[in-house]
Amino acid sequence: MNLRMLATAAVVAGMAAPALAADLPKTVTLTAYTTTSSGYAQSIAIGAMLKQKHGIELRVIPGKNDVSRMIPVKKKRAHLCACGIAASFTQEGVYLFGSKKWGPMAVRNLYNNAKGPHGLMPVVAGDAGVKSAADLKGKKMAWIKGAPALNVNLTALMAFGGVTWDDVTRVEFPGWKQAVDGVIGGQADAVMVSTMSPHVNRLMASPRGNWWVSLPHDDKEGWARAKAVAPFWNPNKVTLGIGIENNVSGEPEFDGQMYPYPIVIGLADDLSDDFTYAMTKAVMEGYEGEGGYGTLKGTAGYQLEAQNLKWVFPYAGGSIRYYKEAGAWGAEEEAHNNALLKRQDVLIGAWTAYYAANKDMEDEAFEAGWAEARKEALTAAGMDAPFS
């Protein structure tokens, strides 16, 4: 590199921070899980990076559930949500987001913590006699009230083995912690967790022990069944977790699944391209160096090479601009993104028509009718209709 090129690079580097800051408000507001969550800790670390490198404040609003995290975004009190997988239900208009107050939304993804050595999947009691997903037939499965994301994941694990809810005993619990306690106490045999969840320690230390069901990555039929239930599932080699050697291989790794968390989204009408470009660039390039957030364990998945740009959410325009500049966005990503945008158009169009015709209907009947209208609209457009 010659002196002129070095000088140019130095000027560009020196201009990067003010250029990004000019496209962002002085304070960016983001919602996240509660203060004890990894998503909150990661958001705080990214906020510290934004402050040091770009002079931008990141205000993080904690929320205890999926709805409470989206309300500030919907009401324009927050720019972004560092969400869990229920963000998918937001754009699909299902479960809690299929009520009159919500409906499908034009969600846009900026970036995610998209990679890690752990898994997000159910754990099974070690004494339940389960070796594979097919062995879940006849077992007692924990169903958690008001937690569709957890229940969908458990349903997907069952589907991997060709098992349905008609093949098992559904045991209802009022919350996740109670469900874990229920597995320990013998009321249920499986519950959705992270492989790193401290509560797995309690199950492993109990007389029942723990077991991780492998999801062989070469089982195409099993993966097709699982993804028909949970389109957001991704194969992942699990090498980090509690008691992970308790799997069919006996080794401290197994074929499992993981989807990104947190998932950083906003609403299309409220996000300018300049804002989403600046935020995406700042996070993608703020991992290393002085003031970088990479000192916090578990944040490597925010880096560019970890991003899954052909996943279940369409990307914001400014984020796409950054990914193109970085050489990570091509014709395949563009075509995939356009298909997702078309899907959102179908869903929002169906909701608009249905709501106008049925807004005076009782809530329960309205939600049941919307579920049918949603399925019909997607099917007519030649699209899959999960969560039906």
Tell me the three-class secondary structure of 41-71, residue by residue.
HHHHHHHHHHHHHHCCEEEEEECCCHHHHHH
pLDDT score, position 19: 62
Strand 254-257 and strand 235-238: pairing? antiparallel
- Going by the DSSP 8-state scheme, the letter that residue 292 receives in this structure is -
The span from the CA of 242 to the CA of 234, in Å, is 20
Averaged pLDDT for residues 140-168: 95
Chain-centroid distance of CA 252 in Å reads: 25
- Are the C-beta atoms of residues 102 and 96 closer than 8 Å to each other? yes
In this model, does residue 252 exceed pLDDT 80?
A: yes
The span from the CA of 130 to the CA of 136, in Å, is 6
Tell me the pTM: 0.89
Of 95, 89, 126, the C-alpha closest to 107 is 89
Structural tokens at position 65:
């559930």
- Are the C-beta atoms of residues 23 and 275 closer than 8 Å to each other? yes
Per-residue HEC secondary structure of 124-186 comes to EECCCCCCCHHHHCCCEEEEECCCHHHHHHHHHHHHHCCCCHHHCEEEEECCHHHHHHHHHHC
What does the domain layout of the chain look like in residue ranges? 3-115+261-342, 120-256
- Quickly list H helices, the chain: 3-22, 38-54, 66-74, 87-92, 148-160, 176-185, 199-205, 220-229, 273-284, 317-325, 331-358, 363-380
Q: Pick the residue with more confidence: 143 or 64? A: 143
Which value, in Å, is the radius of gyration of the alpha carbons in the chain?
Answer: 22
In this model, does residue 12 exceed pLDDT 50?
A: no
In this model, does residue 381 exceed pLDDT 70?
A: yes
For residue 93, the tally of other CB atoms under 10 A from its CB is 24
Residues 40-50: pLDDT tens digits? 999 999 999 99
Residue with tokens 């409220």: 270
In this model, does residue 8 exceed pLDDT 70?
A: no
Do 3-115+261-342 and 120-256 come out as alike in CATH topology?
Answer: yes
Could you please state the CATH topology (level 3) that the domain comprising 3-115+261-342 is classified under. Answer: D-Maltodextrin-Binding Protein; domain 2 (3.40.190)
Could you please state the CATH topology (level 3) that the domain comprising 120-256 is classified under. Answer: D-Maltodextrin-Binding Protein; domain 2 (3.40.190)
Residues 259-306: pLDDT tens digits? 999 999 999 999 999 999 999 999 999 999 999 999 998 899 999 999
In this model, does residue 14 exceed pLDDT 90?
A: no
